Amino acid sequence: MKEPTIELFDTTLRDGSQAEGVNFSIFDKLQITERLDAFGIDIIEGGWPGSNPKDKEYFERVRQLRLHHAKVCAFGSTARDVRNIEGDSNLNLLLAAETEVVTIFGKTWRFHSRDTLGLSDDENAELIYRSVAFLRERGRRVIFDAEHFFDGYKDDPDFALRMLQAAADGGADTLVLCDTNGGTLPSEISTIFQAVRERFDLPLGIHAHNDGELAVANSLAAVEAGAVHVQGTINGFGERCGNANLVSIIPNLALKMKRKFRYPIDLSGLTSLSHYVYEVANLSPNIRAPYVGKAAFTHKGGIHVSSVLKNPRMYEHIPPETVGNRRHVVVSDLSGQSNIRYKAKELGIPVAEDREFSRRFVQHIKELEYQGFQFDGAEASFELLLNAELHRYSPYFTITYAKVNVMLTDGQEDYSEAVLKVEVDGQVEHTASDGNGPVNALDNALRKALVRFYPEVANMQLVDYKVRVLGEGDGTAARVRVLVESSDGERTWGTVGVSHNIIQASLQALSDSLNYKIFHNRSKEVTGVMP
């Protein structure tokens, strides 16, 4: 029997925007709408037009977009008073949004309808029925979100099913069962879904929250039990612990469960979509996110890397390119010779089939890691080390003198200044610069000293700076590890420094960063390609 196609419903712009730390502007919402449409999402829930002016304006402006596939949906609740359906402001604002599709939620847990709304069973059923019918009679496709359905069903199945029946009688197109509190187990989802499916011929959907870290599993269980409509958000954004993560649900449906979607989905755009929404939300991507995280196909242990080089299927459940991701191999104290050879190949650095070299270099890396160096986030420092070992690189400058002054006034105003002597090919440049803190002053002074010799460093900037204390029992005498991320506007790279002195560790990381930029520029000038 052929499986029915799955309708994908995205609520990133509504439910996802309720997440702590997420605040989309109207422009953000319009941009995300276009990306979701291009990816192949069927329905995009844009917001609640009755809740705030921003959502009201979104629905006015989204009409100007030329969407190729997706339908924009407005969200709201049933009417507040069964005696005033036609005059209900919420329902009329849903109509004013002028969307073809409308989602309304109603109470399907007697605990809520009785204690929150103060309604009898008959009154709640009539409120659902008449609200749905009101929207249907005015030409809208109505998706009914049965709020707290699973809790309501476990409490009183007859009541929960009666409220679903009221929505169906009112003309609802799709009945969505909501695990609003996110506390239901997959086995319960399956059992309850099957019971509902036996009762209703309408399309059924699932809306899961992640409070038990089961939202993705619950959504997949619902599909196995008959759901043909799946709601969620990109990256699992949502209130409390978040919503079901479509970024995980979609590839699981397509690759594991072999389900088809209403519109063709190009999974190779999944990682890009995930990172785009993180960027618009001004949040850092989850590097350990399944399928799309940077660490999702990252290998660190030497035995793992050796196996992956023989056949990636040994430690990868899918090829990373399928979802637009890529394989990463990191170098650490857990590395073997395979890690070094893989990284060299990845970086385009020729390494002779000399096992003694690989063994010696692995040992060198492990000694550095023992001292506190870390190359997971500092691959530029690793690349310089490897090229230095192969006699393809040596530092382009030497810092012969460094002094940093930090002054604080009684008014807590601060001033930082760095003074450096930098030697390049026998010439000494003596310079000073102030900055927003001592590290920024060092960065400014170092680039100021080098720009006469290496003009390319002028367009560099430090974009991230992290300090980690090593050896917790040593207090202020402990070593520190400094990770620096730099960019020239086209590419970004990370470097590392370790010392008991935070200024010295910072200077090591900054020096590596500048040397990396110069090395790549000089190599490109010689060969015409980046090394």
In a domain, 79, yes or no: yes
Number of neighbouring beta carbons within 10 Å of residue 465: 17
pTM over 0.75: no
Residue numbers in the chain where pLDDT is lower than 50: 332-334, 527-531
- The H helix count followed by the E strand count for the chain is 17, 16
| Residue at which a domain ends, from 246, 280, 314 | 280
Domain membership of residue 516 (yes or no) is no
Cα angle vertex 150, ends 247, 51, to 5°?
65
CA dihedral 176, 181, 183, 186 (to 10 degrees): 10
Residue 316 has phi, psi (to 5 degrees) of -135, 125
Q: What is the pLDDT of residue 346?
A: 66
Number of domains the chain is built from: 3
272 and 320 inside one domain: no
Q: Verify that 201 and 349 share a domain, yes or no.
A: no
- Whether residues 56 and 153 fall in one domain: yes
* 505-509 contacts, C-beta under 8 A, 24 or more apart: 505/467, 505/480, 505/481, 506/438, 506/439, 506/442, 506/465, 506/482, 507/399, 507/402, 507/442, 507/446, 508/482, 509/378, 509/381, 509/482, 509/483, 509/484
Which residues does residue 169 pair with via DSSP β-bridges, in sequence order? Answer: none
241 and 312 in a single domain? The answer is: no
> What are the pLDDT digits (tens) for 301-345?
555 556 666 676 777 799 989 999 887 766 544 455 566 666 666
CATH number, domain with residue 447: 3.30.160
Which long-range contacts does 21-29 make (Cβ < 8 Å, 24+ apart)? 21/281, 21/283, 22/237, 22/281, 22/283, 24/280, 24/281, 25/54, 26/54, 26/57, 26/58, 26/61, 28/280, 28/281, 29/58, 29/62
Domain span including residue 39: 7-280
Same domain, 171 and 209: yes
- 114 and 36, same domain (yes or no): yes
329 and 244 within one domain? no
Amino acid making up residue 408: L
- Whether 139 and 81 map to the same domain: the answer is yes
CA distance 123 to 105: 15
Among 235, 255, 280, where does a domain finish? 280
Residue 96 included in any domain: yes
The reported pLDDT for the residue numbered 343 is: 64
CA distances from 215 to 206, 234, 277 (A): 10, 13, 20
Where residue 158 sits, what CATH number does that domain have?
3.20.20.70
User: Hey, is 484 helix, strand or coil?
Assistant: strand
The C-alpha atoms of residue 14 and residue 234 are separated, in whole angstroms, by 11
Residues 350, 304 within the same domain: yes
Residues forming a β-bridge with 251: none
Task: List all residues 6 or more positions away from 312 whose beta carbon is below 8 Å from its beta carbon.
Answer: 319, 327
Q: Indicate whether 276 and 298 sit together in one domain.
A: no
Domain-terminating residue out of 256, 280, 304: 280
Beta bridge partners of 175: 144, 204
- CA 40 to chain CA centroid, nearest Å: 19
Q: What is the structure's pLDDT at 115? A: 76
